[in-house]
Amino acid sequence: MNENSVPGATDELKIETLLKVFGRRLGLRLVAGEQGIERTINSSDVHRPGLTLTGFVEVFTFSFVQILGNQEMEYLRSLEPERRRDALEIIYQFEMPCIIVTGSGRLLPELRRMADKYRIPLLRSEFDTTKFTHLLHFYLDDIFAPYLTIHGTLVDVHGVGLLVTGRSAIGKSEVGLDLVERGHRLVADDTVIITRQSHGLLMGRPPAILQDHIEIRGIGIVDVKRLFGIGGTRRQKRVEVVITLVDYDREFAYERVGDEDRVKTILGIEIQEITVPIFPGKNITVIAETIAFNYLLRIDGYHAAQEFNQRLIRRMRAPRLRPIEGDSRD
């Protein structure tokens, strides 16, 4: 597998960028602390400082995004003005990326004043706390996920993400185009950006400039979305099987039964890898579809090679019938 870069990840996200890129999706707006708009988020984790507001700061993870939900806000509203200011001073003494207040309740004026005083952005979202936290985690996990750029073609075949790899000019893009023509969906061609999600999945997507396009030698750049319609592409897909195309070698012992699974490790995650030798006249597209169907069968608990092996074992253990005397077939 040709890997064009080493694993990496985004190190930081400015609050200004968070608002510009995800503000509408998260229902976010800046209400105070504009002087600190250049502060950065350095982790996908978030924290709710309810315990910290009471004065317990020993385990306060102030480097995370701080979320004040209904519980924290109701607690602050229940305090006398002087005690409320003291409680807020406890958290504002730390260098936090920002504070986000969720829900539609009334915003306390002390929060605005301290945000401006300490130059810590105060953001507001009308979404409820659970929904907002889930969405924020989703976007931040993707931003801070380790990633790898791989030379290949990623196609969604019957719901299975097939990553086709191999040497340059071996026919990866042609396989991808043929699969799209047969009703499958192109995700990325030539350059595939793979990220490792927090739940242990590998997600593949194209660079923005290559979205919906494929390069075919002799033709050039092809706009798959315009040629085959909106159903011919998708923005991202989980990478589940790697198909490695190699030139046919008579001396090499290729897999014939399939009882031993080979795996490829990408960003610390093991996924199935199948090596397919190619030669003129071989229908790689049908083989790719078969690989996808076979993968789905395995998920459903059926392994063809293991089933065949068990059948052979049963046949060998079965008692043999003695031939009848005079049987001419002997």
Complete domains list, the chain, with CATH: 13-143 (3.40.1390.20), 146-311 (3.40.50.300)
**Pick the catalytic residue: 48, 119, 137, 151?**
151
Does the annotation mark 205 as catalytic? no
β-strand pairing of 147-157 with 185-196: antiparallel
Query: Ramachandran region of residue 299, left (φ > 0), alpha (ψ -120 to 50) or beta?
Result: alpha
Q: Is 117 a catalytic residue?
A: no
Question: Residue range 164-190: average pLDDT?
Answer: 95
**Radius of gyration (C-alpha) of the chain in whole angstroms:** 28
Q: Is 116 a catalytic residue?
A: no
Per-residue pLDDT tens digits for 94-135? 999 999 999 888 899 999 999 999 999 999 999 999 999 999
172 given a catalytic annotation: yes
Query: What are the backbone angles phi and psi of residue 225, rounded to the nearest 5°?
Result: -65, -40
Of 116, 141, 142, 190, the active-site residue reads 190
| pTM score | 0.74
Across the chain, what does the average pLDDT equal? 89
Of 163, 218, 216, 219, whose CA–CA distance to 186 is shortest?
Answer: 163
Residue 324 per-residue DSSP state: P
Catalytic residue among 39, 84, 124, 172: 172
Q: What is the pLDDT of residue 2?
A: 41
**Catalytic residue (one of 199, 250, 256, 317):** 256
Residue 245 near residue 276, CB atoms below 8 Å: yes
